[in-house]
Amino acid sequence: TKQIRIGYGVCILPYHHPVRVAERVALLDQLTDGRIELGTGRSNAYEQTGLGIDPRDTRSLWEESIRMLPKIWTSDEFEWKGQHWNVPKRRVLPKPFQKPHPNMYLACTSPDSFRLAAQRGIGVLSSTSYAVNVLADLVKIYREALQTAEPVGEFITNFWGNNVHAFCDDDDQYAKDLAAQSMKTFFGPDKPYIQGRINAYEELLEAWGGVPDHLQADFGRWLRQSDEEHKKLARDVGVSLDSGPGAARAAFAQLDSKTLADRGVIIAGNPASCIKTCQMYEDIGVDQVMLIMQTETIAHDKAMRSIEKFGKEVIPAFQGAKAAKAAV
C-alpha cells in the first residue's frame, strides 16, 4: 500500500516498556513513509489480571507512558525518572518519519475517558457503539474539553473515531438483520469484556438510546426496579440474571434491527441506507467510522463483499474533503 493510514488499534501501554513502544512505532513509521497512527489503551481487568497486572496501576502506567513517548521521539538524548519507569540518558533510535511525531489516540468507553483524551490533547477511538443522538453529546464533551488541553505531545490531535458494527448488501433488510445479530453476539454474555460487569446490558441499552417505545410496555417497569427486585422478578418469571439484571438483558436481546439502524447504532443496509447513516455521523462531528464487519456471525466471503460495496458505492458519496472522514 502507498496511501492507506496504518493504525495501532490499540497498543496497550501498561503491557510494554515505553522505549520499546517508541522504537517499534518509529520503525514502522519509517518503513511506511510516515503513515503510522498510534492508538493506545489500558485494556480491562479480565485481561490485566491474566497477565499479572494490577488494574489499579494501569491508569498511572498509561499516563506515564503517553508522556514519555513524544519526548523519546523528539529528544536527541532521552532521560526519565518516574513512578514506574527509570531510563538513564540514552539515544533511542530510529526517530519517526513524521515530524515531530505520529498522532496519538486513546481507546475510550466512557465520558471520563473522552475528557481524559481531550485533556492530554490526543484523539479519541471510541470502542463502544452508540446511538447517534447519544454520541452527539459525548463528542461535544470532548471538543469542549480540548479547549483547555495540556497536550502531552508537540501538538493537539483533534479527532474522533468510532467503532461501528456494519454490513452492506443489496438486500436492505437482510444486511440490517445480519449486522444487528453480529453486534448482539459480539456483546454476548459469554464474552470476557461483558463478564463481571454487573450492569453491562443496562449500560449498552443506555448507549444505544434506551428501550424503544414498542418494548417499553414489556420492559420499562422492569428497568426501574432495584437489584433485589430484579432478582425476585427473575425467580418469578425465569429470566436469567447472567451479566446483569435480567430485564436489561432481555430488552437488549429483543432490540430489533430497524431500531438499531434508525438510531445509527449500526451502519447497515443497502448502499443508500449506509450512506444515510454515515452522514448522520459526519453531521455530529465524528471524523471517522471504523467498521466492524468480520465477526463470528459474518463469514469472511460476506465481509469481503460488504467491504467492496462500501468501497465502490458508499465512500464515493463522500467526495473531496469528505472522503477523509468517510467509512474505512
The DSSP secondary structure of 79-141, one letter per residue, reads: EEE-SS-EEEEE---PPPSSSS---EEEEE-SHHHHHHHHHTT-EEEE-S---HHHHHHHHHH
pLDDT band at 252; cut points 50, 70, 90: confident
CA distance 9 to 57: 21
DSSP class of 244: S
**Gap between the Cα atoms of 263 and 204, Å rounded:** 13
Q: Vertex 218, ends 214 and 220: CA angle to 5°?
A: 85
Could you give the dihedral angle defined by the CA atoms of residues 110, 112, 115 and 120, in that order, rounded to the nearest 10 degrees? -110
User: Residue 231 above 80 pLDDT?
Assistant: no
Q: What is the distance between the alpha carbons of residues 217 and 93, in angstroms, rounded to a whole number? A: 63
> pLDDT band at 196, cuts 50/70/90?
low
- 128 — pLDDT class (breaks 50, 70, 90): confident
pLDDT at position 194 over 60:
yes
Report the pLDDT averaged over residues 182-208: 86
Maximum distance among all Cα pairs of the chain, rounded to whole angstroms:
68
Give the amino acid at 300. Answer: H
Host H or E run for residue 20: helix 18-31
Please give the pLDDT value at position 192.
80
Model confidence at 320, in pLDDT bands (50, 70, 90)? low
pLDDT bucket at 117, cuts 50 / 70 / 90: very high
pLDDT at residue 242 above 70? no
Q: Give the least confident one: 168-172, 230-234, 272-276, 292-296.
A: 230-234
Range(s) of the chain covered by CATH 3.20.20.30 = 6-166+266-325
The partner residues of 107 in beta bridges, in order of sequence, read 125
Residues 174-181: what's their mean pLDDT?
98
The whole-number pLDDT of residue 240 equals: 44
What's the confidence (pLDDT) of residue 52? 95
> Given this model, what pLDDT does residue 151 score?
98
Measured distance CA(74)–CA(86) in Å, rounded: 18
Residue 157 predicted with pLDDT over 80:
yes
Distance of CA 88 to CAs 10, 20, 81, 82, 101, Å? Answer: 28, 15, 8, 11, 22
What average pLDDT score do residues 152-175 get? 98
CB contact at 8 A, 120 and 13:
no
Listed range (162-176, 221-235, 266-280) with the worst mean pLDDT: 221-235
DSSP one-letter code for 241: -
Which pLDDT score is estimated for 232? 56
Contact predicate 326/315, CB 8 Å: yes
- Mean pLDDT for 283-308 is 97
How many other CB atoms are there within 10 angstroms of residue 125's CB atom? 25
Can you give the pLDDT at residue 244?
Answer: 46
Alpha helices in 159-211 (DSSP H): 172-186, 200-207
- Strand (E) or helix (H) holding 307: helix 300-309
CATH number of 6-166+266-325: 3.20.20.30
161 — pLDDT class (breaks 50, 70, 90): very high
Pairing of β 266-269 and β 288-292: unpaired
Look at residue 233 and tell me whether its pLDDT is greater than 50: no
Which pLDDT does position 243 carry in this prediction?
41
Mean pLDDT over 88-102 rounds to 98
Q: What is the dihedral of CA 154, 159, 165, 167, to 10 degrees?
A: -110
Question: How many residues in total does the chain contain?
Answer: 328
Q: Is residue 200 scored above 90 in pLDDT?
A: no
Q: Please state the rounded mean pLDDT for residues 42-69.
A: 95
Tally Cβ neighbours within 10 Å of residue 88: 8
Cell numbers describing residue 270: 443497502
CA distances from 258 to 25, 212, 253, 275 (A): 41, 11, 14, 16
Question: Which residues lie below 8 Å from residue 281, measured CB to CB, with a gap of 6+?
Answer: 132, 135, 162, 164, 264, 267, 289
Mean pLDDT, the chain, as a whole number? 90
Residue 126 half-sphere exposure toward CB, CA atoms < 13 A: 31
pLDDT score recorded for residue 215: 75
